Amino acid sequence: MAAPVTGKIVFDQEGVFIHSSCGKLEDQDSLIPGTLCVIEKDVEVIVDWRPLEETLDSSNILCAVKDSSSVVQWNPTPKERTVGCAERQNSYETEWDMVNTVSFKKKQFANGGVQSPIYVQSKWSFLFSLTDLKSIKQNKEGMGWSYFVFCLKDDVILPALHFHQGGSELLLECLEKYVVLCESEQDSRILLVNCYNRSLSQSFENLHEEPTDSLLQKFKKDPYTATMVKFSKVTNFLADTIRGTDPSTRRRPPQEMADFLGDAIPDLKINQQEESGFEVITRIDVGTRPEVHRRDPVTTLEWDRNMDLEGRVRNVDHIKNIIFKGGLCHALRKEAWKFLLGYFPWDSTREERAQLQKRKTDEYFRMKLQWKSVSEEQENRNSRLRDYRSLIEKDVNRTDRTNKFYEGQDNPALILLHDILMTYCMYDFDLGYVQGMSDLLSPVLYVMENEVDAFWCFVSYMDQMHQNFEEQMQGMKTQLVQLSTLLRLLDSGFCSYLESQDSGYLYFCFRWLLIRFKREFSFHDILQVWEVMWTDLPCQNFHLLICCAILESEKKQIMERNYGFNEILKHINELSMKLDVNDVLCKAEAISLQMMKCKDLTSAVCEVLGLQNNCVPPTSDTTDGCIIKKHYQNSPSNNSTVPVLTANGTRSNSSLKSLPNNVHTPASPW
């Protein structure tokens, strides 16, 4: 049984009932009493209702599990989404496998109804984040008590909550501290929800009470609101707050608004003349993209020509460059990968490498003996080792089994795969084994055809990928933020579209980053992709530019067909084994050259790519991925304009009356 949600309780009301439709109202069994709470938890506000004698089943909570490396969530379908009586509960529990992206673990109930990914339910318990609330429907007049029906943003309708002991008005007062509620024009019983950012709102909560100078000082001190990337949030919040729930009331004059914004953001030029104009806003010009071609793979002859008599690699930069441009012929990979992965030093001689292999062989088998010599009784008392073994056995049996190297029963390559992964648990017991690591080892073992060499090359590869598999997954978080930064520079319009479809966090790229495209390209092609990335050319984080190249190719279809969250995830998942490796690598290299030629990159982009000589100092006109350049032209108008950042850098005619209410700004994916 899971403990209640922790946090600061700002509303707590007992005697809130659900009237089960499975029985008559007079039947007390059809009245389910419960407690409704509103809880502040970190930056979220949670609405939580649970029966008095029940708590949430922890197996239904949205969570990441280290051992299985999966995330459990609910999957919506276009049809029946309303949750009704006890027989109409969750029908499909969706397990988001970090490697397989989406797999379905069926949990069938009578009606086939499906729950939303936004909330969880165990019997009649449910909770949801206030940011996911779309509307609240109130009861008709004449009923002896009030009830509310919460509708979430994907049109999931929760069971009606009946306030037999009062408290409904207090709930609304509480919710209005975090969201703006206004009556629907079509139905006065429906309150539409317009959420605003709490951290931002705290800078403006005393807009009507505080002197302007005091408010401006708060605004200037807040780096979140003092950047142009967040300007649309500022304008939206100001419009909502000043107008209140009724658009026709409490509206400030446009010139007063322009004065306020101009003082709040230094160097922001706002046209305040009688004859106002429009503003042309463009993003940074990254220049033309060069045409790139790939060469043939590096041959053994080319490799040997760059070895001196003692076996040292003479021109390392040249070797890395030709590998980056064409990859390696397969016959050369067994030797060259040891250098690329850092197992062999580039300046080592043949004799030094032979001595290194001898030492590493002894070290490997000492670690292997550690787990091999563990008795059954010992393992029964070591739950972590037992769990590691179980997970490894499960994953080895399904890793690349269609490849001839691993196919068939009792394949000796599978035994090696298992033994290397178990030995790695001894090498790094804190990390142990996490799903996805078998995918990184499989091509390495295939190329090395040697247990010891494969292990130490895998160790070197895991040194690069370690943070991806740690429990906090800091590597994944960082990469998703970095990818968002690059993508916004290249195509801010596409980023804004993704954000409008709740896909701005780029979670659909999760598998790409976790196991470096292992499931996206054919087995033969991934060998080339990896060796290209291991050269560390032409810049840092080249794999993120590969992501950008793939997304750029798919952008047209995603936007023209107006794909939503589920369609985007499904489309990206179905690209597996359909990508042209040469096309993707050419486009990614071209993007890198295009960026390296640009002299006005932001410091954030330069930091991601390691291009310190190309960056410009951060200013209030700099977004995470692009520099906004403002130009003004006069046009006849009776309204003073305020600048509005458009997603694709196009011209925007805007007065206070036309401030956008649906602009999505970049958000952190974690």
* Whether pLDDT at 396 is above 60: yes
pLDDT given for residue 139 in this prediction: 81
Interval 184-190 mean pLDDT: 86
Interval 49-74 mean pLDDT: 43
Tokens 């968002």, residue?
A: 484
* Whether pLDDT at 648 is above 50: no
pLDDT given for residue 123 in this prediction: 53
Interval 68-88 mean pLDDT: 35
List the one residue out of 555, 657, 660 whose CA is nearest residue 247: 657
Interval 339-351 mean pLDDT: 97
In whole numbers, what is the pLDDT of the chain averaged over residues? 74
pLDDT confidence of 159, banded at 50, 70, 90?
confident
pLDDT confidence of 202, banded at 50, 70, 90?
very low
How far is residue 145's CA from residue 149's CA, in Å, rounded to a whole number?
14
Q: 347: which residues sit within 8 A by CB, 6+ positions away?
A: 312, 313
Question: Does residue 39 come out as left (phi exceeding 0), alpha (psi in the -120 to 50 range) or beta?
Answer: beta
pLDDT given for residue 615 in this prediction: 63
Tokens 């919506």, residue?
A: 76
* Whether pLDDT at 141 is above 70: no
pLDDT tens digits, one per residue of 560-606: 999 999 999 999 999 999 999 999 999 999 999 999 998 888 899 99
pLDDT given for residue 25 in this prediction: 44
pLDDT given for residue 616 in this prediction: 57
pLDDT given for residue 283 in this prediction: 59
The packing angle between helices 383-396 and 437-448, to 10°, is: 60
Measured between alpha carbons, how far is residue 419 from residues 374, 396, 397 in Å? 14, 10, 13
* Whether pLDDT at 87 is above 80: no
- The better pLDDT of the pair 267, 100 is held by 100
pLDDT given for residue 53 in this prediction: 61
Interval 274-297 mean pLDDT: 70
pTM above 0.95, yes or no: no
* Whether pLDDT at 244 is above 70: no
